[in-house]
Structure 1
Amino acid sequence: MTVTRGPAGAALTNEITDILVVHCGLDPDAAARAPDASLAELGMDSLALLELQAVVADRYGARIPTETGHLSIPAVADLVVEQTGPLDSPERADRPGHTENSIVIDAPRRLVWDLTNDVANWTDLFTEYRSVEVLHREGNTVRFRLTMHPDPDGTVWSWVSERTADPATWQVHAHRVETGPFEYMRLHWRYDSEPDGGTRMTWIQDFHLRPDAPVDDRGMEARLNAGTREQMTIIRDKVERIARQRGLEADDDE
């Protein structure tokens, strides 16, 4: 197998690395130190490889075998390219939707985590939600109904989602239970301490629209990116104001 080393291949290798870091627990420093190491050598177990298989299928419409532990990350990228073509090929225009946005909040990570994961009070943070109804809680998993403010034409969007928080890794995984116009919608939030203080909050969305949806995946990407960036800015300002009111510094102990 020819290792993908050209510009397009390098970009896809970086994307596969990001998937492994975000979804599978890969240590990015270990991957950087040993770019040609196998997934097994990088500590990816069978559960991590199953998750990689699922995310690659959703994002690229490509199938990789479950037994990929002997492959390097560039070799996995090769498998995807063989099925889908390079990142900029016309054949990839119908790839599933994917967005990733982040913002740095000048507040301690614990405060950012607590406020943004208090689902019952999301209407105090987000301006787009009219109501939140918590339907069920079990451990760190919560199922809830979100209802948005009406569109200009009077349409009210509402759906049920479920999210599981992992305080040990400062990450949250969520999905829509009632998918509406989506075939699926999966979300991943993570919180990272910045070297100079503050918290980087990142939101990732992987999705695919139904054929009868009013927009396609590219159109939804544009909408979600615009809305996410607007809401992140609003949330940042509110959390920073609360931090100031409580006399907290961005680098306070977590």
Structure 2
Amino acid sequence: MPVTMRLLVLFLALALPALAAAHSWIVCTDYLENNGWYWDEAKCRAWPRSAHRHNMRFGYFGLHRGFMNKLDNHPEETALCRHPRNDDTEYTDLTPMAAYYLGQKVVLTHPTKNHVADVRCKDNTNIVDTENLIFAVDGDEDPCCIDSDKLIVVEDMGISPYGPDIDPVLTTTYPKPGFQNAPKFCENEADAMGTYNFTIPLDMKPGRHTFVWKWIRSPTVSPFTTCWEADVFATKAERDAHYTATGQSTVDLWDFYQINTIVDGQIVDPIDPVDPIISG
């Protein structure tokens, strides 16, 4: 093999793992299982903006197909959302918009892309998690950028435990705050499912809102964002009426650790939740 080719192969071998660890995005904007172990498309009730363009519903969970949005170089000057807002074209019957109610706990899912400190499969426990925020947008138009004063913080979802001197037990204790909440990470380091949860504020004005997820994995790396819209209702009954009219399930989400007894990482006493019935 020519020297230049060997150098290229070596470069790719070193660079691709770093690239794989460097990104993520939100796959589902209303998932019916909090702190779950494995992605299940049938548990996803709503999707991000433009999910249909990138085959998010039926594509491989950890494959972004151009969906990822990283605010490179000058985050304060970079478009916050991967695609401009257009509610009539960016959602479909198969990738519908979310519907929330005041006080609802909302679960989001994302692929881990190698970025979890778990000593069962990682020697490096200094895998940084810096910021995990949910914003709501003030107004009907996309904000210009991550520094826009139209972004209102809905919830700080915390950061995952990490560090060179961290107690190894903390890296294997789930659920975790922040990005690294992925109990089955070691089974598929690139594409394991991680989950977040946040709560719709009780003082949020009912109506349609744009939400934005922002993740900073390291202070030296530009933020990652995902945008989506949701109709926010005053009560669960109103939200349920909307989902019934659109053929969606009205079941409440369940927490994986509340319906299963886990011993040494194995389910020993499962309780089956009500199966969701998802349209499409």
Structures share fold, TM-score greater than 0.5: no
Larger RCO, structures 1/2 (Cα 8 Å, 6+ apart): 2
TM-score normalised per structure 2: 0.23
More helix by share: 1
